[in-house]
Amino acid sequence: NAGVTQTPKFQVLKTGQSMTLQCAQDMNHNSMYWYRQDPGMGLRLIYYSASEGTTDKGEVPNGYNVSRLNKREFSLRLESAAPSQTSVYFCASSGQGAGNTEAFFGQGTRLTVV
């Protein structure tokens, strides 16, 4: 049972570089999410997708773009990385409908922007 898989696990970027964080789930979930976690601030929602083909902004979307490539995959792109984007990024997925809404998380991507 792979669950939610994120790649890469660690990344160091220079200011201004771009990169894409990948996320895939094998639980046939409709909803997928991207969060960032910073010390003392909990998890803040960047973007979410309630179904294939739809995406919505969360609390902190500036500087990020997302793509819901298909039902399984939801990627997060940093077009021009900034030191303020140094964080741990988590992807999550959940089902919809009665008895199927439990959310599951990936192991995270630790990103440092220098």
Partner 1 sequence: KQEVTQIPAALSVPEGENLVLNCSFTDSAIYNLQWFRQDPGKGLTSLLLIQSSQREQTSGRLNASLDKSSGRSTLYIAASQPGDSATYLCAVLVDYKLSFGAGTTVTVRA
For residue 45 the two structure tokens come to 């929602």
Helix (H) or strand (E) holding 57: strand 56-57
Q: Shortest approach of partner 1 to residue 28 CB, angstroms?
A: 16
Q: Shortest approach of partner 1 to residue 11 CB, angstroms?
A: 16
Our CB check for partner 1 shows the closer of 33 and 64 to be: 33
Any idea of the CA torsion for 91, 97, 99, 100, to the nearest 10 degrees?
-30
Q: Footprint of partner 1 on this chain (CB under 8 A)?
A: 31, 33, 35, 40-45, 48, 50, 56, 58, 90, 92, 94, 96, 98, 101-108
Relative to beta strand 56-57, strand 43-49 is antiparallel
Our CB check for partner 1 shows the closer of 85 and 106 to be: 106
